[in-house]
Homo-oligomer: A and B are copies of this chain.
Amino acid sequence: MRIGDVARRTQVPPRLIRYYEQQGLLEADRMSNGYRSYREEHVDRIQRVAGLVQAGLPTRLVKVLIEAEDAAAHDEPTCPQETAELLAAELVPIEERIACLTRSRDTIRDYLQRTNHEAELRRAAERHSA
């Protein structure tokens, strides 16, 4: 799969995919002609990275996060103290972000319901599942 295909599937412009790679958040195989080559596995990763960046995490942190996720997935039994501290320190701001966004989501939902705009809610939900 080439970069354009992945871009279409993930909705992440090629420009950004390259950027994330350059920042060390992503890796890509290369074909004999130099083109980047992606597998299914990469698609997930790209969506994940893009999602975190959009959620306001600086790429520097995203990198630490996904590296930890990789380690977790590989059942790494150990984790350097330094990394553990870094991750733990990130936990708090992340939870604050979640709380903040959750509150907004709830408020919006309630508000739309109370002002009789369930139609919009439904339409949004549909596009979500699509």
Contacts from A to B (Cβ < 8 Å): 48, 51-52, 54-57, 65, 68-69, 71-72, 76-79, 81, 84-85, 87-102, 104-105, 107-112, 114-115, 117, 120-121, 123-124, 127-128
Copies of this chain, count? 2
B56 touches A54 (CB 8 A): yes
Q: How far is the CB of A77 from chain B (nearest CB, A)?
A: 7
Residues of B within 8 A of A117 (CB): 79, 81, 84, 88
A104 touches B65 (CB 8 A): yes
> Once the chains are docked, how many angstroms separate the CA of A85 from the CA of B43?
30
- For residue A117, which residue of chain B has the nearest CB? B84
B88 touches A123 (CB 8 A): yes
> Once the chains are docked, how many angstroms separate the CA of A22 from the CA of B102?
26
Could you name 27 residue pairs across A and B whose Cβ atoms are closer than 8 Å?
A48-B100, A54-B97, A54-B100, A55-B56, A55-B97, A56-B56, A56-B97, A65-B104, A69-B111, A72-B110, A72-B111, A77-B114, A77-B115, A78-B115, A79-B111, A79-B112, A79-B117, A87-B111, A88-B108, A88-B120, A91-B109, A92-B124, A94-B104, A94-B105, A95-B128, A97-B101, A98-B105
3 tightest CB-CB pairs across the interface, nearest first?
A56-B56, A88-B120, A51-B100
